[in-house]
């Protein structure tokens, strides 16, 4: 199980790091405003991926474990595959007209509807097929296939995007490259899926209702994630400027290493978690200990990224982006809190209570949007960064409370709260107090020294007892 989890982690990290490695090229070829426009369109693409998915990938991953007979599993997967394609194509056709009509309003007239709207809808539809095959490979624990899909897609999209951007296609070239890479992989992965899952006899089309029922309940959680991490970009682009959005987009790219690792690990960890939870309540102490160890790693990685933020921002963009360094620590804090929250919401998903998770995530996210609308025009993009951190903290508290209503998992909550408070304090210091001159030895020493001290305290808070439990369970 651990080997497979590592393979899922590697595949997802590779796939998500490739777009990050293109950012230094984009920031040097495009103006700050054009980079902001690219970030704006990426924000829209992400919400389209959520809407066109309807939570069906989460349904595939979870409901797969309710089937045991091989023929039954194949029929379940084929029905899920057909449903995924129908929903993705149907939503694209349904949305293209309304989205073109409202595009001038949501973009503030700064970005043309053509070719961006059709490109974004095509990319989200093609990615649906890829995403289903990734969910299938993860559920079936086919780590090799999972890594192959992730790596092939990352390479094709990167090569196509770079070629078109260098050819002068601008931000549109990046999205043509995205659609080309997703299309090739969708055809290849879809064909392999159909060869593997040939079935005889009638298919259980009523399974679609259960898939949709589970998936739709996860939508508020996914949409609240979008509201927390990306709706602020729309508000910045409309109420301030695309140039300010470019700075904010780069600051968000600064948090990308942590976000990539966190998202990849959680995607890899879920199959392991579900397998352990099927063993009953006896697995709860081990899971709680593993979660606390994960939190410790997340906290130390977050502090490391905060300490190196000025250097990271300088690598990602030329000197005109230096102001982004003030915003990145708050965004890193928000990502860390979201990662901790997932250690609790996965328990709700196991108990098939996605609706409860939705109630804990959606209202704070909506309040965060209201706060962004009120504060960004007056205080600028940095207000969005700290609003994101505050919303993530509120959601974490709610999800912990909701999980304890369903299952007493054994997490040491006082120690968890103390660790989160320590990282929040370091984020504030990194944003407002510590020197941010990149590659300046005294400034770097101050940031790294204070960060190392904070990491040592994190270990003292979270490690005792938990590491021993995990190593014992793994036979070490």
In terms of pLDDT, which residue wins out, 325 or 268?
Answer: 325
From the CB of residue 471, how many other CB atoms can be counted at a distance below 10 Å?
12
What is the gyration radius of the CA atoms in the chain, in angstroms? 22
pLDDT at 44 over 90: no
pLDDT at 107 over 90: no
Task: Report pLDDT digits (tens) over 430-474.
Answer: 999 999 999 999 999 999 999 999 999 999 998 766 555 555 555
Q: What is the pLDDT of residue 1?
A: 46
129 contacts: CB under 8 Å, gap ≥ 6: 84, 85, 88, 186, 189, 190
Helix (H, G, I), strand (E, B) or coil at 90: helix
pLDDT at 305 over 80: yes
CA distances from 367 to 36, 48, 445 (A): 25, 22, 39
pLDDT at 210 over 60: yes
pLDDT at 418 over 90: yes
**Among candidate residues 420, 406, 429, 434, the one with its CA nearest the CA of residue 462:** 420
Max CA pair span of the chain: 71
Helix (H, G, I), strand (E, B) or coil at 436: coil
Reported as type and span, the H/E element at residue 198 is none
pLDDT at 150 over 80: yes
pLDDT at 2 over 50: no
User: Helices 2-29 & 309-316, crossing angle to 10 degrees?
Assistant: 60
In terms of pLDDT, which residue wins out, 288 or 474?
Answer: 288
**Among candidate residues 439, 130, 179, 150, the one with its CA nearest the CA of residue 313:** 439
User: What does the mean pLDDT of the chain come to?
Assistant: 84
Instruction: Please state, in angstroms and rounded to a whole number, the distance separating the CA atoms of residues 124 and 131.
Output: 10
Contact 205, 76 (CB under 8 A): no
Weakest-pLDDT range from 202-216, 278-292, 391-405? 278-292
In terms of pLDDT, which residue wins out, 404 or 299?
Answer: 299
Prediction pTM value: 0.76
Instruction: Please state, in angstroms and rounded to a whole number, the distance separating the CA atoms of residues 155 and 136.
Output: 21
Residues of the chain with pLDDT > 90: what percent? 40
Instruction: Please state, in angstroms and rounded to a whole number, the distance separating the CA atoms of residues 168 and 37.
Output: 16
Centroid of chain to Cα 251: 16
Residue 115 corresponds to which tokens in the numbers above? Answer: 């070719």
Over residues 229-233, the mean pLDDT reads 77
Residues of the chain with pLDDT > 70: what percent? 83
Task: Report pLDDT digits (tens) over 20-40.
Answer: 788 899 999 999 889 988 988
Angle at CA of residue 333, ends 327 and 337, nearest 5°: 150
Over residues 381-396, the mean pLDDT reads 93
Helix (H, G, I), strand (E, B) or coil at 279: coil
Q: What is the pLDDT of residue 441?
A: 94
Residue with tokens 């079936």: 140
Q: What is the pLDDT of residue 164?
A: 96
**Among candidate residues 215, 278, 348, 218, the one with its CA nearest the CA of residue 68:** 278
288: confidence class by pLDDT, cuts 50, 70, 90? confident
């Amino acid at each position: 199980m651990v080997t497979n989890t590592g393979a899922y982690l590697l595949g997802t990290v590779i796939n998500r790091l490739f777009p990050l490695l293109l950012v230094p090229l984009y920031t040097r070829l495009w103006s700050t405003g054009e980079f902001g426009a690219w970030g704006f369109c990426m924000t829209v693409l992400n919400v389209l991926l959520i809407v066109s998915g309807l939570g069906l990938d989460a349904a595939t991953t979870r409901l797969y474990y309710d089937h045991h007979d091989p023929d039954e599993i194949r029929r379940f997967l084929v029905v899920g595959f057909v449903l995924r394609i129908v929903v993705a194509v149907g939503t694209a056709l349904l949305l293209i007209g309304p989205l073109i009509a409202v595009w001038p309003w949501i973009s503030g007239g700064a970005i043309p509807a053509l070719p961006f709207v059709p490109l974004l809808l095509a990319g989200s539809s093609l990615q649906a097929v890829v995403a289903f095959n990734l969910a299938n490979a993860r559920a079936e624990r086919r780590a090799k296939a999972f890594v192959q899909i992730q790596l092939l897609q990352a390479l094709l999209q990167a090569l196509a995007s770079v070629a078109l951007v260098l050819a002068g296609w601008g931000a549109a070239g990046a999205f043509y490259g995205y659609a080309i890479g997703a299309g090739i992989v969708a055809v290849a992965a879809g064909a392999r899926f159909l060869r593997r899952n040939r079935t005889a006899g009638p298919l259980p089309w009523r399974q679609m209702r259960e898939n949709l029922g589970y998936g739709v309940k996860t939508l508020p959680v996914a949409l609240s994630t979008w509201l927390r991490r990306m709706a602020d970009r729309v508000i910045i682009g409309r109420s301030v400027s695309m140039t300010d959005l470019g700075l904010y987009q780069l600051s968000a790219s600064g948090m990308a290493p942590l976000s990539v690792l966190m998202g990849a690990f959680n995607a890899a960890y879920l199959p392991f978690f579900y397998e352990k939870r099927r063993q009953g309540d006896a697995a709860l102490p081990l899971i709680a200990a593993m979660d606390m160890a994960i939190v410790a790693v997340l906290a130390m990685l977050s502090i490391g990224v905060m300490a190196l933020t000025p250097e990271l921002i300088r690598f990602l963009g030329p000197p005109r982006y230096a102001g982004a360094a003030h915003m990145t620590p708050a965004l890193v804090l928000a990502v860390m809190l979201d990662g901790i929250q997932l250690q609790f919401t996965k328990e709700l998903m196991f108990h098939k209570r996605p609706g409860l998770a939705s109630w804990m995530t959606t209202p704070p996210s909506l309040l965060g949007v209201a706060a962004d609308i009120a504060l960004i025009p007056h205080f600028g993009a940095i207000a969005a960064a700290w609003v994101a951190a505050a919303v993530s903290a509120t959601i974490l508290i709610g999800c912990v409370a909701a999980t304890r209503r369903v299952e007493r998992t054994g997490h040491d909550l006082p120690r968890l709260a103390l660790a989160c408070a320590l990282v929040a304090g370091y984020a504030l210091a990194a944003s407002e107090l510590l020197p941010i001159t990149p590659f300046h030895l005294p400034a770097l020493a101050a940031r790294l020294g204070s960060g190392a001290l904070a990491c040592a305290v994190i270990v003292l808070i979270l490690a005792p007892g938990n590491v021993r439990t995990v190593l014992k369970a793994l036979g070490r």
